[in-house]
């Protein structure tokens, strides 16, 4: 299946999940992240603001702040790049209707990236929304641990990928934590 067809299929499946099921599974996923040693040892964490039928991550973001960790969130710039902004100066509504942080672009190191996406496979390949924002972000944060909390329906057998694509390190579903071996 090509990327465009897979995007449509997974988005439709995810959109068809009931609100109660999505909330329950999101709570389980966030709790699993909070229990990870990799999370406990991280100080500077890039997360995201969920949109539509994505995993509901707000409670995790609140917990990051409660634990005095530094929360960074993505912002899409007018030139099509993705900036990383420290949480704290409020939000504006971005070009895709997603709440985005106000503030300066952070250029330093991150300890952990919690990433959204439409589909993932057991090799750690990620299918995003097709704009390449996270691919560029991963290039600049190659060695940073990348975690994807996902609903079971987002885990697929295979995703078409390019040689330059950077894999996710860990996929978290309600039933398991998949640590991806990189060679």
Write out the chain's pLDDT in tens, 183 residues.
899 999 999 999 999 999 999 999 999 999 999 999 999 999 999 999 998 999 999 999 999 999 999 999 999 888 888 899 999 888 888 777 777 888 888 888 999 999 999 999 999 999 998 888 888 888 888 889 999 999 999 999 999 988 878 899 999 999 999 999 765
From the list 25, 18, 33, 20, the residue with the least C-alpha distance to 155 is 25
Q: What pLDDT was estimated at residue 148?
A: 98
pLDDT of residue 183: 53
Q: Are 85 and 73 in contact (CB under 8 A)?
A: yes
> What are the domain boundaries of the chain?
1-177
The pLDDT score that the predictor gives to residue 11 is 96
Question: Over 14-83, what HEC string results?
Answer: HHCCCHHHHHHHHHHHHHHHHHCHHHHCCCEEECCCCCCCCCCCHHHHHHHHHCCCEEEEEEECCCCCEE
Rounded to an integer, what distance in angstroms lies between the CA atom of residue 54 and that of residue 120?
14
pLDDT value of residue 132: 80
φ, ψ dihedrals at 155, nearest 5° = -90, 115
Report the DSSP pairing between strands 119-121 and 126-127: antiparallel
Cα gap 39→56, rounded to integer Å: 18
Known binding site: residues?
3-7, 49, 54, 126-134
Binding residues for substrate: 49, 54
Q: What's residue 93's pLDDT?
A: 83
Q: Whole-angstrom Cα distance, residue 128 to residue 74?
A: 14
Binding site for ATP, by residue number, is 3-7, 126-134
Instruction: Supply angle C-alpha 31, 150, 165, rounded to 5.
Output: 125
Class (C level, CATH) for 1-177: alpha beta
* Structure-token pair, residue 94: 């971005």
d(CA 101, CA 76): 10
Return the sign of the alpha-carbon dihedral for residues 37, 154, 101, 74. positive
Please tell me whether residue 148 adopts helix, strand or coil conformation: strand
Count of Cβ atoms closer than 10 Å to residue 50 Cβ: 19
- The whole-number pLDDT of residue 105 equals 86
């Amino acid at each position: 299946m090509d990327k465009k067809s897979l995007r449509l299929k997974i988005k439709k499946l995810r959109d068809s999940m009931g609100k109660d099921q999505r909330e329950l599974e999101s709570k389980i996923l966030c709790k699993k992240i909070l229990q990870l040693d990799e999370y406990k040892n991280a100080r500077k964490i890039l997360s995201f603001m969920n949109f539509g039928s994505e995993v509901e991550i707000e409670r995790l973001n609140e917990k990051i702040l409660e634990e005095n960790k530094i929360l960074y969130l993505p912002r899409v710039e007018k030139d099509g790049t993705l900036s990383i902004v420290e949480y704290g100066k409020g939000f504006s509504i971005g070009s895709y209707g997603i709440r985005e942080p106000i503030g300066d672009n952070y250029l330093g190191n991150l300890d952990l990236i919690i990433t959204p996406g439409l589909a993932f496979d057991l090799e750690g390949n990620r299918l995003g929304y097709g704009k390449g924002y996270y691919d560029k972000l991963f290039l600049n944060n190659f060695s940073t641990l990348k975690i994807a909390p996902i609903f079971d329906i987002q885990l697929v057998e295979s995703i078409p990928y390019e040689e330059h694509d950077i894999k996710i390190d860990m996929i978290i579903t309600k039933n398991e934590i998949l640590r991806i071996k990189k060679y």
